[in-house]
Structure 1
């Protein structure tokens, strides 16, 4: 993502969308649902099984052993099989530290709705900062280890812990009296320098895609400020008593109020995703588009069929779905019933996809130069991600069978957590020094 793409004004994108060709809009709307993700991913898997892929062969005989590994890792991590959702909140628990309790203690007697808004603020911003960190970055948490010794975290755990402390320090808030929030003005003030300082970035501790991450947060702030009907949340208790303070402030947590005004104490998981895709679409890089409409995490592949102008596009919406998984618990903690979890798909990223490669379920063709540096839009990577989505759907029931659990007891969100992501890391560490992914993907901090 270039800086010019990252800082393009939301108004420009909205004006372009308003003038979009109706057929372009129809195609974009189709690509924003998980039905399109699943249908197209499974079609590419069927095509690969028929030997029509130039990139991969599929070895179904390896699925049973892979399921057994995932089940084994799940039992080791959760012996009682009480498996939480795969979400950003697991990274906030890195090192066995209950950081959520720290946050909730500071929130004190805040209402369930206000706690939910704060939890959503934290989770949404943290997920947007969660693209791959690269192999050379880590974060040192003071007093996070045994005996209050410093603890060092890398990769996803490091990004989670670093973003948690940045949030607690008020980096994303414009109100010094209320640091525990992310708001439109505060997010627009984030720079690569301020974010880098919070994440302990230096020449000796480089973080991949730092500018892209900071730009994404600024874009989020701009979009929220331009859409108060969607993002406005009541100001925190006490602040509204000052006449110059408005009654509402644009925050990610405003999504809680938006969705709760439409529902009666319950929400479907796909409704959360739909809200994110509808209202956050302007923040994503604009290189993938149909006409004037930016598509986000949606990529070209010649083997993908579809109606109209959606033909040839393979959607994923990985970060939006990861964010949806990470918002399930804030809604539930506020007493909201979340239904339809399995409408979401598996996440096509390098741990889940790496599991399938390292376990031999997917094998690149001999002619594929797997050691080269790949871009997110390369056909090989697009197909790998699509096959990952489809194969996770097939792997999930096999894992449940091994563990003796039902889909209700172990929805896909729990299979991922138990699970496939952790097993991917186990195999990576077994096969490569440092547990690096099996493929080298150039990241700008917005996809992987």
Structure 2
């Protein structure tokens, strides 16, 4: 797709390579401002549970009585999986107000905080004596009204795709019950059962990051709706493009894979080859390249039109985002004076392109929203 764009053969997009260097300068500056010592964590859901230096999940888990490290890891998996699946774009008007801390948050941080409080209150648990779990049976029963209450949704605080999010959790519960080989080898069916499935695949208590994605794509394939299928198999976030065939993007699944690395490490499982995963095809990374002028739509009117996720225009934008992240990474590393090993893509995203995409969005648009209008069912972005 990138080659087509550079050869002026892609139907919707062109690439201005001269803008990659300024983009790298901008990203490197944002990283140094946010992390002066360059001690950047991975781009993971855990970052969104931290507010003004307070790690709210760490506060919760540190006061809980865990029978062993595996139980703690399963709970972390439960939280990460449900919270990431609930994270698709909230829309510009939604906010969450936390009664315990007084924090008010929007977008990804607000969704993270709302999902954390819902989880910690036992909203996904079937066990009266153990709130910190997400049981398949409970997930199957959740409805939109429960999600509305947990996320403070009403006529004055609308959440984009709220019903779709609830239905996604329902399908997650059904998938967990249907695959005990992945979700229930050490407990009743629950998303956290994937921890045990991954431990079983580790060699000498070590596994590549790509193995996490492999297991997630196998386990979560049935939960997606309105996705392309090939020979009866749902492909998830993988879309056809008239010039690129099927383009596997898997934004939520890959972000979830990044987010599961830390619970595995905390449980004594080493994760290597982090760059076996790709950059994330979402509107902060994609918006960075668009707002910085590295990606240019052929039709200027496309910037004000409303698009479907499946439109070739959107598939092309997301595809080019993934390709350009790979090209941007070495440019940023050279400016920071760090190696590939010390600064994998997961750190570049966090430090990083996602944050820089948000900064440039605020400079370009009053609401800080994405540069394109895309119809979301709450399960892609």
Q: Structure 1 length as normaliser, TM-score?
A: 0.83
Shift of 1:297: 0.7
Shift of 1:368: 4.3
Shift of 1:233: 5.2
Instruction: Say yes or no: does 1:278 pair with 2:218.
Output: yes
1:423: which partner in 2? 356
Contact residue 227 and residue 237 of structure 2 kept, 8 A? no
Superposed, which structure 2 residues align to 1:14-53 within 5 Å?
44-53=1-10
Instruction: Say yes or no: does 1:57 pair with 2:9.
Output: no
Instruction: Say yes or no: does 1:93 pair with 2:50.
Output: yes
Contact residue 49 and residue 57 of structure 1 kept, 8 A? yes
Query: 3-state DSSP class of the match of 1:445?
Result: coil
Instruction: Say yes or no: does 1:349 pair with 2:294.
Output: no
Instruction: Say yes or no: does 1:252 pair with 2:191.
Output: yes
1:21: which partner in 2? none
5+ long unaligned stretches in structure 2: none
User: How far apart are the structure 1 equivalents of 2:333 and 2:276?
Assistant: 18
Shift of 1:336: 1.1
Q: Deviations over 1:210-268 (max 9, x none)?
A: 0100000000101111111211154xxxxxxxxxxxxx311111111112122221111
User: How far apart are the structure 1 equivalents of 2:313 and 2:17?
Assistant: 20
Structure 1's 103 and 47: CA in aligned 2 closer, same or farther, altered over 3 A? same
Structure 1 vs Structure 2 CA RMSD:
1.1
Instruction: Say yes or no: does 1:152 pair with 2:104.
Output: yes
Contact residue 162 and residue 378 of structure 2 kept, 8 A? yes
Superposed, which structure 2 residues align to 1:207-218 within 5 Å?
207-218=159-170
Structure 1's 72 and 260: CA in aligned 2 closer, same or farther, altered over 3 A? same
Shift of 1:287: 3.6
Contact residue 66 and residue 72 of structure 2 kept, 8 A? no
User: How far apart are the structure 2 equivalents of 1:133 and 1:267?
Assistant: 34
1:202: which partner in 2? 154
Aligned counterpart for 1:81 among listed residues 17, 32, 38: 38
Query: 3-state DSSP class of the match of 2:96?
Result: strand
Contact residue 195 and residue 214 of structure 1 kept, 8 A? yes
User: How far apart are the structure 2 equivalents of 1:428 and 1:105?
Assistant: 36
Shift of 1:70: 0.5
Instruction: Say yes or no: does 1:266 pair with 2:218.
Output: no
Shift of 1:110: 3.3
User: How far apart are the structure 2 equivalents of 1:420 and 1:208?
Assistant: 24
Aligned counterpart for 1:231 among listed residues 183, 194, 199: 183
User: How far apart are the structure 2 equivalents of 1:319 and 1:61?
Assistant: 30
2:344: which partner in 1? 411
Contact residue 77 and residue 263 of structure 2 kept, 8 A? yes
Q: Deviations over 1:65-94 (max 9, x none)?
A: 101111111111111110000010000113
Is 51-60 or 417-426 further displaced after alignment?
51-60
Aligned counterpart for 2:231 among listed residues 276, 281, 291: 291
2:296: which partner in 1? 363
Q: Deviations over 1:180-230 (max 9, x none)?
A: 001111111111100110000000000000010000000010111111121
1:302: which partner in 2? 242
Query: 3-state DSSP class of the match of 2:14?
Result: strand
Query: 3-state DSSP class of the match of 1:313?
Result: strand
Query: 3-state DSSP class of the match of 2:89?
Result: coil
User: How far apart are the structure 2 equivalents of 1:179 and 1:100?
Assistant: 13
Aligned counterpart for 1:168 among listed residues 120, 126, 138: 120
1:308: which partner in 2? none
Shift of 1:286: 4.1
User: How far apart are the structure 1 equivalents of 2:299 and 2:220?
Assistant: 40
5+ long unaligned stretches in structure 1: 1-43, 145-149, 235-247, 305-311
Contact residue 286 and residue 295 of structure 1 kept, 8 A? no
1:31: which partner in 2? none
Contact residue 55 and residue 368 of structure 1 kept, 8 A? no
Shift of 1:280: 1.1
Q: Structure 2 length as normaliser, TM-score?
A: 0.98
